[in-house]
A and B are shown apart, each in its own frame.
Chain A
Amino acid sequence: MAEYSDRKDRTITTRWQITGDLAKFILTQDLTHLDDWGGKEAVREVLPEHYQKNFDLVQTDLVNCLLEEKNRKTAMGFAECMGNWGDWFHSQLDQGKKVIYHYFVHTIEPMLALDLAPLCLEVLSGLSAALYTDGCEEGIDTMHAEGYPDHLCSSNMGGAGFLLKGYVPQPDAFLKGTTPCDPSNRVYEYLAHKFNAPLIVVETPYYMNERALKFLTNEMKRMIGKLEKIAGKKIDEDKLRESIKLSNETGEYILKIQELRKLVPCPDTGWHRPADTIFTAQMGTPFSRDYFKGLYEVVKERADKGQGVIPEGKKEIRLAWGYTWECFDLPFFNWLENKHGAIYTEDCLTLFPADYAMIDTTNMETMIEGLAQRLMQVPMARQAMSWSDTWINDFVDVARAYKIDALAIGGHMACKHFWALNKLLTDKVKEKTGVPALRFEMDMMDKRFTSPSELKRIMDDFFATF
């Protein structure tokens, strides 16, 4: 039996480790549905004892979704990567490495090159929301109890609450790019103040031009300087190069998968898209590379055979998600495929620009500039912290390149900048491509705002109008 930590400050990350191992165990059994063995309770009975408590927490629908034939390989890849990441992260903590809580827009290569232990606050919220019946609501509610209102972003609030509860390690510093928004900036400011930890701020300019890139490159240098102070050493150029090469490789796979999604029928499933974002926050690690490599192989195999992911006989409805996904019900996207034939092409959080991947690793200057370019272009941040036409044009391009039938936009309630743009975005996309849009309110992480059953009702009503 694997050894799992019982430290309170590793509650969340240990949970993930166990779930990763549990998932690997279940996925290797001869099951296509928990009912094959008599339901969740019956399966629980046959599980090794150390998995049972964790199994109780995992969403039943998610397990059944991942057991479906079309999802198994990717699910296994996800479980392996999650488990491997958990092992690695705990080993960093055991070695006494300093913990840097960072916003998900930051790829972590510089932190890895400084032997720091990066932990993405939003992944704390997202992975918990995705896997468990109790989601990250405890974290969100903890922040509410401190007086911070529900119109702040649950992607920050969940993880922030876990920090306050002591379920994750104490921070040595916080790292925040100023993209995309005020709510996220404010939560990081609060946390840095609360924990009396340094807050490293990286200003991401509003523009995407030479001037902005020059400025942001300098910001990256400043960031590295501050991280060096925390690490107590200078950044190792070779280590930086090594992790950037890994993230380049990862980026290549991401772009290749993106191209394959343009095919009709679409060879990629939708349930794992929030998981994709979770692993892009780990770009620079072998786990992230392995995850996307595995995903690419699955998608490529289907593409080579001309296979889609919807049931035989259904007409494929090609959706793009104009903003974020919901993270608390991954099987929802599977349900869309199976019930409505509605596939997932892209969304704002996973739409990578074509020039995103390749960072020139020749020397420190080229690498730092490449990292700056990445930060400027990272999905969602790129659209959010810039002019509205970036967002609009990106989705006009998606509508055309992916041949979409409709734009679905679950507008995250905390995103004021999105809601100020919502009509322009949908009107302009429709004007230029004829593609209609569905807009509805939801919260990315908190399933109490728009529940899974309500989401389904909204989509049922929408597809009835097709």
Chain B
Amino acid sequence: MLILGCDVGAITTKTVIFGDDGIVAYDITANNGNLTKVVEKSVDNVISKAGVSLDGIDVKAGTGMGERYIPFDHITEGIIKCLAVAAHRIHPHTRTIVDMGGLVTTAISINEKGKVLEYRTSDKCASGCGFFLRLAAQALEMKVEDFGKLILPYEESAHMGTQCAVFGESEIVSHINDGVEPEKIAAGINHSLGRSVTTMINRIGGIKDIVATGGVAKNKGVIRAIEETLGMEVITLSSIDEQLLGALGAALCAQQRVQQG
């Protein structure tokens, strides 16, 4: 059976094709412009990589905040459940998932069977999310991907105290004007994100194994900052791109539904 899972997030759309032996192909496309067109593009990319047609897919599933823009018939799955199912499938010892997305950070507590026990989202504040990293990268004239290499102790990093992503950019500019090195500012941003994410984990009481997912999970500086503040290891899954858990989870949930009839 071939299953397509599509996660339409805040900043990117992720699509996977999942078969009997695992992920056959995947795609991650930035959300620029019309979301329906972005979904179509992402799906075209992934079916091309898999060498199949859309009609050749047995089951199609969608999730994420932009799920309603998926233009073809599909099963709708809740993103929280998708993340839980996928993380548990890949790493069965997972008990806490922290998904660090473009606009939303979510902390999820699951049991040994992968069932969701509790979760909290960061609601309407992007200060601990990928969106803020993008703003920061622009302000510092750096690549977002390079932020992850900037791991400095908290005391050596620039202090980022602002509670708001928009004013955070203004704070960065203040640091630049004060002559603080961009690397220290970037490290300070990593710490700031790390603290926000740790708060989310603590709100639900993080139990190990703690698994980090989402685009921001690729930033090792943030992961290190979380570990420092939390005092616990945070695992990033090496067998799958961190951004794909939602799409994979949608595919797995849809598969379960179909198998249960």
Contact = CB atoms under 8 A, between A and B. Distances in A.
Interface string A440-460: 110000000110010001001
A465 B120 contact: no
A440 B80 CA distance: 14
B118 A436 contact: yes
Given A436-B117, A440-B123, A441-B124, A423 B203 contact: yes
Contacts of A465: 78, 80-81, 84, 115-116, 119
A127 B65 CA distance: 30
Contact of B77 (A450, A453, A464): A464
Nearest to A463: B78
B78 A460 contact: yes
A440 B121 contact: yes
A439 interface: yes
Contacts of A439: 120
Contacts of A449: 124
A295 to B, nearest CB: 33
A457 B65 contact: yes
A195 interface: no
A464 B81 contact: yes
Contacts of B118: 430, 436-437
B79 interface: yes
A382 B123 CA distance: 28
A462 interface: yes
A461 interface: yes
B61 to A, nearest CB: 12
B62 to A, nearest CB: 12
Contacts of B115: 465
Contact of B79 (A423, A441, A461, A463): A461
B236 interface: no
B29 interface: no
Contacts of B80: 461-462, 464-465
Interface string B57-97: 00000000100100000001111110010000000000000
B123 A441 contact: yes
Contacts of A463: 78
Nearest to A441: B123
Name B's interface SS.
mixed
A453 B68 CA distance: 10
Interface string B178-217: 0000000000000000000000000100000000000000
Interface residues of A, number: 17
Nearest to B202: A423
Interface in A18-49: none
Contacts of B123: 440-441
B78 A464 contact: yes
Nearest to B76: A460
A359 B245 CA distance: 59
Nearest to B203: A423
Contacts of B116: 465
B99 to A, nearest CB: 12
A457 B116 CA distance: 17
Nearest to B84: A465
Interface string B98-128: 0000000000000000011111110110000
A461 B120 contact: no
A441 B124 CA distance: 8
A89 B120 CA distance: 45
Contacts of B124: 441, 449-450
Contacts of B76: 460
B113 to A, nearest CB: 13
A462 B79 CA distance: 9
A449 B124 CA distance: 9
Nearest to A449: B124
Given A441-B123, A457-B65, A462 B117 contact: no
B56 to A, nearest CB: 27
B181 to A, nearest CB: 36
A464 B64 CA distance: 13
A99 B116 CA distance: 53
A441 B121 CA distance: 10
Contacts of A450: 124
Nearest to A438: B119
A423 B203 CA distance: 8
A98 B1 CA distance: 74
Nearest to B67: A457
A463 B116 CA distance: 11
Contacts of A436: 117-118
Nearest to B116: A465
Given A436-B118, A439-B120, A441-B123, A461 B203 contact: no
A436 B77 CA distance: 20
A247 to B, nearest CB: 39
B78 A461 contact: yes
Nearest to B118: A436
Given A464-B78, A465-B116, 14 more contacts: A430-B118, A436-B118, A437-B118, A439-B120, A440-B121, A441-B123, A450-B124, A461-B79, A461-B80, A464-B80, A465-B78, A465-B80, A465-B81, A465-B84
Interface of B: 65, 68, 76-81, 84, 115-121, 123-124, 203
Interface of A: 423, 430, 436-437, 439-441, 449-450, 453, 457, 460-465
What are the 5 closest A-B residue pairs judged by CB atoms, nearest first? A464-B78, A465-B116, A461-B78, A464-B81, A441-B123
9 contacts: A436-B117, A437-B118, A449-B124, A461-B78, A461-B79, A461-B81, A462-B78, A465-B78, A465-B116
